[in-house]
A and B are shown apart, each in its own frame.
Chain A
Amino acid sequence: MAHDLYRRTPPGQHPPNRFDGYKSTASRSPTRPAVVLPQTLSEITGPLRRDERLGAQENDLTRQRMGEPLGERIVVHGRVVDEAGRPVPNALVEIWQCNAAGRYHHPGDQHDAPLDPNFYGGGRARADDNGAYRFVTIKPGAYPWGNHKNAWRPAHIHFSLFGPAFATRLITQMYFPNDPLLAYDPIYNSVPERARHRLQAAFDMDGTQPEWALAYEFDIVLRGRNATPMENGHG
């Protein structure tokens, strides 16, 4: 559509709504095609959460309770950018995850693994002017789920981003590099093969803090703007 501010996403980037290996999608996926909507003010605006004041410890999940949580302390950092590589400045980044034993601090999680009173598993960070964000947390554990026989979720951290508009809203999951469980996970594998690797963080030796924590880098790419007539040379 000629007037769309944000680029239309070509096929092959996101999972299908229905993915047979992930059983819950069967009854929760629309079967009719989505109606293509020209981007109006309703779609090119969206919550920026600029007035949201974050607490000092919100991006350090190891310091939100009385003591230190059990597990392997890690730094997770990266940049929020658009498809052209431009930073999404001041983006609000929300994460949540299970503890090192593979258990969520959530009443619905009944997995037979210990809760950690020092780990609730939720955090928020505000990206800086260059889109850079940073969390300190512990490495989440793998856990079983009932999707199929002997199903285990690979270790992952959930990420939620608004971006600049309603059209750019994204919820995703970050995985750890070379996790052997990735090959068996239908949620990860619901993503078209050539795009899957974008969900894996990179081990970041340079970001590691000696004597303290390993580091992983996870860049998040949100929908970008269409070139303006000026930029593409036709203006």
Chain B
Amino acid sequence: MADGLTPSQTIGPFYWGSLVSGYRADLAPAGVAGERIELALTLYDADGAVVPDGLIEIWQANSHGRYNHPEDRRNLPLDTGFEGFGRASADTSGTARFATVRPGRVPWPEGGLQAPHINISIFARGVLNRLATRLYFEGDPALATDPVLKLVDPARRSTLLATCDAAGVWCLPIHLGGDRETVFFDC
């Protein structure tokens, strides 16, 4: 049986409630260092209709730019109670909301630093493979030199930029297809 990778399959529409309720969309309890931010990620299909049955996960470094993971061996502080993982399902308007801290910068393998970003996984009925993308913060001065954004067609970079709305929420529309299709990554 174990003669190759286990193939991916869709999450389907009826993923178990506790797949979500057992997890946090509020990643940063009191005492965690950093600038508090809220995220609103909205899923759209190729026709522009909202996707109300998707599941979104985020993974990020803490405000010091440190990942809570053994592969990150740098001498930077870890925050008690901050893992950097969140999971939320989209509501009827296609939006999944998170509360967290703005991540710090993490290194690029060939030297230098990446712009602050949040890693995103998307699952939904009709999505056969996990879709991976990133959220960057519009207006961040580090965007200009970010090595990942340099890999992306300039005309499509804006699909990765969250914008801050009047209420201070960072909003990112994620288009699974269509003219405004989001940039997805093969990592």
- Indicate if A31 sits at the interface (CB-CB under 8 A): yes
Given A25-B126, A47-B84, A171-B123, are A42 and B106 also a contact pair (CB < 8 Å)? yes
Q: B13 — which chain A residues lie within 8 A by C-beta?
A: 106, 108
Q: A208 — which chain B residues lie within 8 A by C-beta?
A: none
A155 to B104, CA, bound (A): 45
A97 to B183, CA, bound (A): 32
A98 to B13, CA, bound (A): 12
Q: Are B11 and A14 in contact (CB under 8 A)?
A: no
Instruction: For the complex formed, measure the closest distance between the CB of A37 and the CB atoms of chain B, giving whole angstroms.
Output: 4
Kindly identify which residue among B2, B16, B152 contacts A81, using a CB–CB cutoff of 8 Å.
Answer: B2
We find that the number of chain A residues with CB closer than 8 angstroms to chain B is 83
Kindly identify which residue among B6, B12, B14, B85 contacts A49, using a CB–CB cutoff of 8 Å.
Answer: B85
Kindly identify which residue among A38, A187, A196, A198 contacts B10, using a CB–CB cutoff of 8 Å.
Answer: A187
Given A15-B128, A46-B59, are A37 and B186 also a contact pair (CB < 8 Å)? yes
- Indicate if A68 sits at the interface (CB-CB under 8 A): no
Q: Are A221 and B4 in contact (CB under 8 A)?
A: yes
Q: A9 — which chain B residues lie within 8 A by C-beta?
A: 5
A13 to B46, CA, bound (A): 25
Name the interface residues of A177-233: CB closer than 8 Å to any CB of B: 187-188, 190-192, 195-200, 202, 217-223
- Indicate if A35 sits at the interface (CB-CB under 8 A): yes
Name the interface residues of B1-55: CB closer than 8 Å to any CB of A: 1-19, 22, 45-47, 49, 51, 53
- Indicate if A130 sits at the interface (CB-CB under 8 A): no
Given A17-B128, A19-B128, A108-B53, are A199 and B184 also a contact pair (CB < 8 Å)? no
Kindly identify which residue among B8, B47, B84 contacts A171, using a CB–CB cutoff of 8 Å.
Answer: B8
Q: Are B177 and A39 in contact (CB under 8 A)?
A: no
Kindly identify which residue among A28, A29, A106, A170 contacts B6, using a CB–CB cutoff of 8 Å.
Answer: A170
- Indicate if A94 sits at the interface (CB-CB under 8 A): yes
Q: Are A45 and B72 in contact (CB under 8 A)?
A: yes
Chain B residue at minimum C-beta to C-beta distance from A219: B2
Q: Are A187 and B9 in contact (CB under 8 A)?
A: yes
Q: Are A30 and B177 in contact (CB under 8 A)?
A: yes
Kindly identify which residue among A33, A37, A51, A187 contacts B148, using a CB–CB cutoff of 8 Å.
Answer: A37
Name the interface residues of A122-180: CB closer than 8 Å to any CB of B: 122, 124, 158, 160, 165-167, 169-173
Chain A residue at minimum C-beta to C-beta distance from B15: A96
Instruction: For the complex formed, measure the closest distance between the CB of A174 and the CB atoms of chain B, giving whole angstroms.
Output: 9
Instruction: For the complex formed, measure the closest distance between the CB of B28 and the CB atoms of chain A, giving whole angstroms.
Output: 15
A51 to B127, CA, bound (A): 30
A120 to B4, CA, bound (A): 32
Q: Are A83 and B5 in contact (CB under 8 A)?
A: yes
Q: Are A85 and B176 in contact (CB under 8 A)?
A: no
Question: What are 10 A-B pairs at a CB distance below 8 A?
Answer: A34-B184, A36-B186, A40-B109, A41-B67, A41-B71, A45-B72, A47-B85, A85-B2, A96-B19, A198-B2
Q: A-side interface residues toward B, CB under 8 Å?
A: 3, 5, 9, 13-17, 19, 22-49, 51, 79, 81, 83, 85, 94, 96, 98, 104-106, 108-109, 120-122, 124, 158, 160, 165-167, 169-173, 187-188, 190-192, 195-200, 202, 217-223
Beyond the given pairs A27-B45, A46-B85, A202-B1, 4 more chain A to chain B contacts, judged by CB atoms under 8 angstroms and listed by A's residue number, are A14-B8, A30-B177, A173-B9, A221-B2
